[in-house]
Amino acid sequence: MSYVSIVGTGSYVPTKVVTNNDLEKIVDTNDEWIKTRTGIHTRRMSEGENTSDLALKAAEEALKDADMSGEDIDLIIVATVTQDTFTPSVACIVQSKIGANKATCFDITAGCTGFVYALNIAKQFLETGKCKNALVIGAEVLSKVTNWEDRNTCVLFGDGSGAAVLRAGEQEGIISTYTGSKGDENRYLEIKAVQVNNPFMQEISNNNPSLIKMNGKEIFKFATKIIRKSLKNVIEDTGYSLDDVKYIVPHQANHRIIEHVAHKTNMDIDRYYMNIDKYGNTSSASIAIALDEMNKKGLLEKNDKVILVGFGGGLTWGSIFINWVK
């Protein structure tokens, strides 16, 4: 069995900045409400770029950071809930653009936990020796599935992508992983796909639009509990405690969720990395963007311990305990 480590990161957000004041012109909301209830000041919005365009840019940066090219990659996994097309996958589109000709490519969907799930899957491929280098991407253009008439949700989301290159080798980078799902609470967060509709049906169904529907209160309660459980479970049996961890990198959904968890875990809020003020909730991309930002800012030193923790639609959750080896 090989060890697996993160050897490069990248991210990309569209250039268009949408402020809370911009949203006041679309729905009945205001800057004060959005900032105090969510922590979001701005978010980025695609002006036409699709999910694979965002994914490609993050991937190129991550490859550069890892000092690799597409030819070195033998696995590409993209976590997303906003694919360009049902087929081909975003991963296959990225493959063709970076010339990763020997790679196996597929997308996965695990709501906002997508990037954590994808890292965990890639780790299994690399540990067994099946692959040597993997490109894991979280990418979303949520603005295509946002209900722009629903003030409860449209103020929360943004577009963006982040990527990490994983390598199998001698250095233990990903120390531990933990994931879980609870399908019987799937109703709390939903984006409909194409409805069943064919000439052999008794009644032709109306094709409901694919827009985000969320029960914010239930997700809030779920998130505050499951983040703590995910931290506890991923660290168990590693020989480390939360005191050894320099940063927690949580899914960026709401600053109040993170403040609550920081308080409950008796940790200084500064040890929870946050950039939700700039980008809003970018679902599968949020943890990947945050990790890349920390890498670029030089916040991470060799052998620092970091925990990535995600939660989202499904419901799903998960965490990754990392020894930073770059």
Q: Which residues are catalytic?
A: 112, 251, 281
Measuring CA to CA, which residue among 110, 115, 140 is closest to residue 249?
115
Q: Which residue of 219, 245, 306, 325 would you call a contact of ligand ACO, by CB under 6 A?
A: 219
Strands (DSSP E) along 186-324, which ranges?
A: 189-191, 212-214, 247-250, 305-312, 316-323
Q: Does 37 bind ligand ACO (CB under 6 A)?
A: yes
Q: Does 186 bind ligand ACO (CB under 6 A)?
A: no
Q: Does 312 bind ligand ACO (CB under 6 A)?
A: yes
Q: Does 318 bind ligand ACO (CB under 6 A)?
A: no
Q: Does 310 bind ligand ACO (CB under 6 A)?
A: no
The residue type found at 58 is A
Measuring CA to CA, which residue among 5, 3, 12 is closest to residue 296?
12
Q: Does 143 bind ligand ACO (CB under 6 A)?
A: no
Q: Does 254 bind ligand ACO (CB under 6 A)?
A: yes
Starting at the earlier edge strand, list the strands of the sheet with 247-250.
174-181, 316-323, 305-312, 247-250
Site residues (CB under 6 A) for ligand ACO, limited to 44-83: none
Measuring CA to CA, which residue among 103, 218, 202, 250 is closest to residue 152?
218
| Residues paired with residue 112 on neighbouring β-strands, in sequence order | 110
Q: Does 210 bind ligand ACO (CB under 6 A)?
A: no
User: By beta-carbon distance, which residue lies closest to ligand ACO?
Assistant: 216
Q: Which residue of 41, 132, 151, 260 would you call a contact of ligand ACO, by CB under 6 A?
A: 151
Closer to ligand ACO at the Cβ: 100 or 223? 223
Site residues (CB under 6 A) for ligand ACO, limited to 101-140: 111-112
Q: Does 33 bind ligand ACO (CB under 6 A)?
A: yes
Q: Which tokens hold the place of 311?
A: 């939660």
Whether the CB-CB separation of 227 and 250 falls below 8 Å is answered with: yes
Q: What would the x/- binding string for ligand ACO be over residues 258 to 297, using CB under 6 A?
A: -----------------------x-x--------------
Classify 285 as helix, strand or coil: helix
| Residues paired with residue 192 on neighbouring β-strands, in sequence order | none
For the chain, the residue count is: 326
CB of 247 vs ligand ACO, minimal distance in Å: 20
Degrees (nearest 5) of the Cα angle 112, 114, 115?
110
Binding site for ligand ACO (CB under 6 A): 29, 33-34, 37-38, 111-112, 151-152, 155, 189, 214, 216-217, 219-220, 223, 253-254, 257, 281, 283, 312-313
